[in-house]
Protein backbone atom coordinates (compact mmCIF):
# COMPACT_ATOMS: atom_id res chain seq x y z
CA UNK A 1 0.00 0.00 0.00
CA UNK A 2 1.47 3.31 -1.13
CA UNK A 3 -1.25 5.62 0.17
CA UNK A 4 -1.37 7.25 -3.26
CA UNK A 5 -5.06 8.15 -2.82
CA UNK A 6 -4.87 9.41 0.75
CA UNK A 7 -7.49 12.10 1.27
CA UNK A 8 -9.29 11.36 -1.99
CA UNK A 9 -13.05 10.80 -2.02
CA UNK A 10 -14.47 7.99 -4.16
CA UNK A 11 -18.06 6.99 -4.96
CA UNK A 12 -18.72 3.74 -6.83
CA UNK A 13 -22.19 2.54 -7.75
CA UNK A 14 -22.90 -1.13 -7.26
CA UNK A 15 -20.01 -1.47 -4.83
CA UNK A 16 -21.34 -4.00 -2.33
CA UNK A 17 -20.11 -6.92 -4.44
CA UNK A 18 -18.22 -7.93 -7.57
CA UNK A 19 -16.22 -5.37 -9.52
CA UNK A 20 -17.50 -2.46 -7.46
CA UNK A 21 -16.56 -4.06 -4.17
CA UNK A 22 -13.07 -5.01 -5.34
CA UNK A 23 -12.50 -1.50 -6.65
CA UNK A 24 -13.77 0.21 -3.52
CA UNK A 25 -11.50 -1.91 -1.34
CA UNK A 26 -8.54 -1.27 -3.63
CA UNK A 27 -9.06 2.48 -3.31
CA UNK A 28 -9.43 2.11 0.46
CA UNK A 29 -6.15 0.20 0.67
CA UNK A 30 -4.50 3.18 -1.02
CA UNK A 31 -5.94 5.64 1.47
CA UNK A 32 -9.12 6.87 -0.23
CA UNK A 33 -12.38 7.43 1.60
CA UNK A 34 -15.07 5.44 -0.19
CA UNK A 35 -18.85 5.60 -0.53
CA UNK A 36 -20.37 2.13 -0.90
CA UNK A 37 -23.59 2.14 -2.92
CA UNK A 38 -26.10 -0.68 -2.93
CA UNK A 39 -29.66 -1.29 -4.04
CA UNK A 40 -30.81 -4.40 -2.15
CA UNK A 41 -28.09 -6.18 -0.18
CA UNK A 42 -27.55 -3.92 2.81
CA UNK A 43 -25.53 -6.51 4.72
CA UNK A 44 -23.04 -6.90 1.87
CA UNK A 45 -22.66 -3.12 1.70
CA UNK A 46 -22.11 -2.88 5.46
CA UNK A 47 -19.50 -5.65 5.35
CA UNK A 48 -17.71 -3.95 2.45
CA UNK A 49 -17.68 -0.66 4.34
CA UNK A 50 -16.37 -2.33 7.48
CA UNK A 51 -13.53 -3.92 5.53
CA UNK A 52 -12.73 -0.56 3.93
CA UNK A 53 -12.60 1.07 7.37
CA UNK A 54 -10.09 -1.54 8.49
CA UNK A 55 -7.59 0.30 6.28
CA UNK A 56 -8.06 3.46 8.33
CA UNK A 57 -10.34 5.34 5.93
CA UNK A 58 -13.89 6.63 6.05
CA UNK A 59 -16.60 4.56 4.38
CA UNK A 60 -20.14 5.75 3.76
CA UNK A 61 -22.99 3.36 2.98
CA UNK A 62 -25.57 4.71 0.54
CA UNK A 63 -28.73 2.98 -0.61
CA UNK A 64 -30.19 4.19 -3.90
CA UNK A 65 -32.45 2.80 -6.58
CA UNK A 66 -30.76 4.11 -9.71
CA UNK A 67 -34.05 4.17 -11.59
CA UNK A 68 -35.18 6.92 -9.21
CA UNK A 69 -33.44 10.30 -9.73
CA UNK A 70 -34.53 11.42 -6.25
CA UNK A 71 -32.62 8.54 -4.68
CA UNK A 72 -29.52 9.38 -6.72
CA UNK A 73 -29.85 12.93 -5.44
CA UNK A 74 -30.13 11.67 -1.87
CA UNK A 75 -26.94 9.64 -2.31
CA UNK A 76 -25.05 12.69 -3.57
CA UNK A 77 -26.57 14.84 -0.84
CA UNK A 78 -25.01 12.43 1.67
CA UNK A 79 -21.62 12.62 -0.04
CA UNK A 80 -21.85 16.41 -0.19
CA UNK A 81 -22.84 16.81 3.46
CA UNK A 82 -20.27 14.31 4.75
CA UNK A 83 -17.33 15.21 2.52
CA UNK A 84 -18.17 18.34 0.55
CA UNK A 85 -16.05 17.05 -2.31
CA UNK A 86 -15.55 14.12 -4.67
CA UNK A 87 -12.50 13.02 -6.64
CA UNK A 88 -13.64 9.85 -8.39
CA UNK A 89 -17.09 8.77 -9.54
CA UNK A 90 -17.28 5.26 -11.00
CA UNK A 91 -20.52 4.17 -12.67
CA UNK A 92 -20.31 0.44 -12.17
CA UNK A 93 -23.89 -0.69 -11.49
CA UNK A 94 -25.69 -2.45 -14.32
CA UNK A 95 -29.01 -4.03 -15.17
CA UNK A 96 -29.36 -7.75 -15.91
CA UNK A 97 -31.97 -8.43 -18.58
CA UNK A 98 -30.76 -11.39 -20.61
CA UNK A 99 -33.24 -12.02 -23.43
CA UNK A 100 -33.24 -12.40 -27.22
CA UNK A 101 -34.00 -9.15 -29.03
CA UNK A 102 -37.35 -10.47 -30.26
CA UNK A 103 -38.44 -11.22 -26.68
CA UNK A 104 -37.27 -7.94 -25.17
CA UNK A 105 -40.14 -5.78 -23.94
CA UNK A 106 -40.34 -2.04 -23.50
CA UNK A 107 -39.97 -2.31 -19.73
CA UNK A 108 -36.74 -4.33 -20.13
CA UNK A 109 -35.33 -1.59 -22.34
CA UNK A 110 -36.59 1.19 -20.09
CA UNK A 111 -34.98 -0.25 -16.97
CA UNK A 112 -31.69 -1.11 -18.66
CA UNK A 113 -31.26 2.31 -20.24
CA UNK A 114 -32.38 4.02 -17.05
CA UNK A 115 -29.65 2.28 -15.05
CA UNK A 116 -26.90 2.21 -17.68
CA UNK A 117 -27.40 5.62 -19.32
CA UNK A 118 -29.86 7.99 -17.66
CA UNK A 119 -28.73 7.35 -14.09
CA UNK A 120 -25.09 7.76 -15.10
CA UNK A 121 -25.69 11.13 -16.70
CA UNK A 122 -27.75 12.28 -13.72
CA UNK A 123 -25.02 11.12 -11.34
CA UNK A 124 -22.29 12.85 -13.34
CA UNK A 125 -24.30 16.08 -13.25
CA UNK A 126 -24.28 15.79 -9.45
CA UNK A 127 -20.66 14.65 -9.23
CA UNK A 128 -19.02 17.35 -11.33
CA UNK A 129 -19.75 20.30 -8.99
CA UNK A 130 -18.11 18.31 -6.18
CA UNK A 131 -15.02 17.79 -8.36
CA UNK A 132 -14.36 21.43 -9.21
CA UNK A 133 -10.70 22.27 -8.75
CA UNK A 134 -9.81 18.68 -7.83
CA UNK A 135 -8.92 17.19 -11.25
CA UNK A 136 -11.78 14.74 -10.95
CA UNK A 137 -12.13 11.39 -12.63
CA UNK A 138 -15.25 9.89 -14.20
CA UNK A 139 -15.05 6.14 -14.81
CA UNK A 140 -17.70 4.02 -16.51
CA UNK A 141 -17.86 0.25 -16.90
CA UNK A 142 -18.86 -1.32 -20.20
CA UNK A 143 -18.50 -4.89 -21.46
CA UNK A 144 -17.26 -6.77 -24.50
CA UNK A 145 -20.93 -7.09 -25.51
CA UNK A 146 -20.85 -3.46 -26.63
CA UNK A 147 -18.65 -4.37 -29.60
CA UNK A 148 -19.21 -8.11 -30.03
CA UNK A 149 -22.53 -9.92 -30.13
CA UNK A 150 -23.38 -12.29 -27.29
CA UNK A 151 -26.46 -14.52 -26.93
CA UNK A 152 -29.41 -12.84 -25.19
CA UNK A 153 -27.42 -9.63 -24.73
CA UNK A 154 -28.82 -7.16 -27.26
CA UNK A 155 -30.50 -4.96 -24.67
CA UNK A 156 -27.51 -4.62 -22.35
CA UNK A 157 -24.94 -4.65 -25.17
CA UNK A 158 -26.60 -1.76 -26.98
CA UNK A 159 -26.88 0.19 -23.72
CA UNK A 160 -23.19 -0.38 -23.01
CA UNK A 161 -22.33 0.85 -26.50
CA UNK A 162 -24.28 4.01 -25.74
CA UNK A 163 -22.41 4.31 -22.43
CA UNK A 164 -19.08 4.22 -24.25
CA UNK A 165 -20.27 7.02 -26.52
CA UNK A 166 -21.50 9.04 -23.54
CA UNK A 167 -18.10 8.58 -21.90
CA UNK A 168 -16.42 10.17 -24.92
CA UNK A 169 -18.84 13.10 -24.96
CA UNK A 170 -18.24 13.67 -21.26
CA UNK A 171 -14.49 13.68 -21.92
CA UNK A 172 -14.79 16.51 -24.43
CA UNK A 173 -17.21 18.56 -22.32
CA UNK A 174 -15.48 18.09 -18.98
CA UNK A 175 -11.88 18.29 -20.16
CA UNK A 176 -11.75 22.10 -19.92
CA UNK A 177 -12.76 21.72 -16.27
CA UNK A 178 -9.81 19.42 -15.59
CA UNK A 179 -11.96 16.29 -15.36
CA UNK A 180 -11.18 13.13 -17.32
CA UNK A 181 -13.73 10.55 -18.43
CA UNK A 182 -12.76 7.00 -19.36
CA UNK A 183 -14.47 3.65 -19.76
CA UNK A 184 -13.27 0.23 -18.65
CA UNK A 185 -14.48 -2.69 -20.75
CA UNK A 186 -13.90 -5.97 -18.91
CA UNK A 187 -13.97 -9.36 -20.51
CA UNK A 188 -16.08 -12.04 -18.89
CA UNK A 189 -15.68 -11.34 -15.18
CA UNK A 190 -16.14 -14.19 -12.73
CA UNK A 191 -18.98 -12.66 -10.71
CA UNK A 192 -22.51 -13.57 -9.64
CA UNK A 193 -23.86 -11.69 -12.66
CA UNK A 194 -21.96 -13.91 -15.10
CA UNK A 195 -23.06 -17.02 -13.24
CA UNK A 196 -26.64 -15.78 -13.52
CA UNK A 197 -26.14 -15.18 -17.25
CA UNK A 198 -24.67 -18.63 -17.94
CA UNK A 199 -26.85 -20.47 -15.38
CA UNK A 200 -26.26 -24.25 -15.35
CA UNK A 201 -23.83 -23.91 -18.26
CA UNK A 202 -21.40 -21.77 -16.26
CA UNK A 203 -18.58 -24.31 -15.90
CA UNK A 204 -18.67 -25.19 -19.60
CA UNK A 205 -18.91 -21.48 -20.43
CA UNK A 206 -15.94 -20.74 -18.18
CA UNK A 207 -13.81 -23.56 -19.57
CA UNK A 208 -14.47 -22.57 -23.18
CA UNK A 209 -13.62 -18.93 -22.54
CA UNK A 210 -10.53 -19.82 -20.53
CA UNK A 211 -9.29 -21.94 -23.42
CA UNK A 212 -9.83 -19.09 -25.87
CA UNK A 213 -8.21 -16.40 -23.70
CA UNK A 214 -4.47 -15.93 -24.37
CA UNK A 215 -3.77 -15.29 -20.68
CA UNK A 216 -5.67 -18.44 -19.76
CA UNK A 217 -8.34 -17.35 -17.28
CA UNK A 218 -11.45 -15.25 -16.84
CA UNK A 219 -11.20 -11.62 -15.84
CA UNK A 220 -11.30 -11.15 -12.06
CA UNK A 221 -12.82 -8.14 -10.28
CA UNK A 222 -9.35 -7.20 -9.04
CA UNK A 223 -8.13 -6.91 -12.65
CA UNK A 224 -10.73 -4.23 -13.29
CA UNK A 225 -9.96 -2.54 -9.98
CA UNK A 226 -6.31 -2.21 -10.95
CA UNK A 227 -7.17 -0.37 -14.15
CA UNK A 228 -9.63 1.86 -12.29
CA UNK A 229 -6.90 2.91 -9.86
CA UNK A 230 -4.53 3.60 -12.73
CA UNK A 231 -7.07 5.78 -14.56
CA UNK A 232 -7.84 7.65 -11.34
CA UNK A 233 -4.17 8.27 -10.60
CA UNK A 234 -1.67 10.93 -11.59
CA UNK A 235 -0.05 8.69 -14.22
CA UNK A 236 -3.28 8.77 -16.26
CA UNK A 237 -3.88 12.52 -15.99
CA UNK A 238 -3.65 12.99 -19.78
CA UNK A 239 -5.80 10.00 -20.73
CA UNK A 240 -9.44 10.78 -21.47
CA UNK A 241 -12.25 9.57 -23.70
CA UNK A 242 -10.82 6.08 -23.97
CA UNK A 243 -12.35 2.61 -23.73
CA UNK A 244 -9.81 0.23 -22.21
CA UNK A 245 -10.32 -3.52 -22.51
CA UNK A 246 -9.42 -5.73 -19.56
CA UNK A 247 -10.01 -9.18 -20.98
CA UNK A 248 -6.73 -11.10 -21.05
CA UNK A 249 -6.76 -10.94 -24.85
CA UNK A 250 -10.12 -12.69 -25.27
CA UNK A 251 -11.37 -10.26 -27.90
CA UNK A 252 -8.20 -10.68 -29.96
CA UNK A 253 -9.22 -14.22 -30.89
CA UNK A 254 -11.92 -15.10 -33.40
CA UNK A 255 -11.77 -18.84 -34.15
CA UNK A 256 -9.32 -21.67 -33.70
CA UNK A 257 -8.24 -23.63 -36.76
CA UNK A 258 -10.87 -26.25 -35.89
CA UNK A 259 -13.62 -23.63 -35.95
CA UNK A 260 -14.17 -23.40 -32.19
Positions marked catalytic: 153, 160
What count of other Cβ atoms lies within 10 Å of the Cβ of residue 204?
A: 10
**Listed residue (14, 245, 32, 229) closest to 119, CA to CA:** 14
User: In Å, what is the CA distance from 108 to each residue of 99, 142, 154, 194?
Assistant: 9, 18, 11, 18
**3-state secondary structure string across 154-174:** HHHHHHHHHHHHHHHHHHHHH
Amino acid sequence: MSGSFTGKKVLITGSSRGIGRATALSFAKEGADVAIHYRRDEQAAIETAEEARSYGVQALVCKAELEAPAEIDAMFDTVSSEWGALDVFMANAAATSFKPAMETKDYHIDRTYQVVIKSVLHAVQRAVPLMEGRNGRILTVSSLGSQFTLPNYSNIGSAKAALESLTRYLATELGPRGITSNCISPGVVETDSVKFYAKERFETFKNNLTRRTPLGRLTQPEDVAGVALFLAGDAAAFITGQVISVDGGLTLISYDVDGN
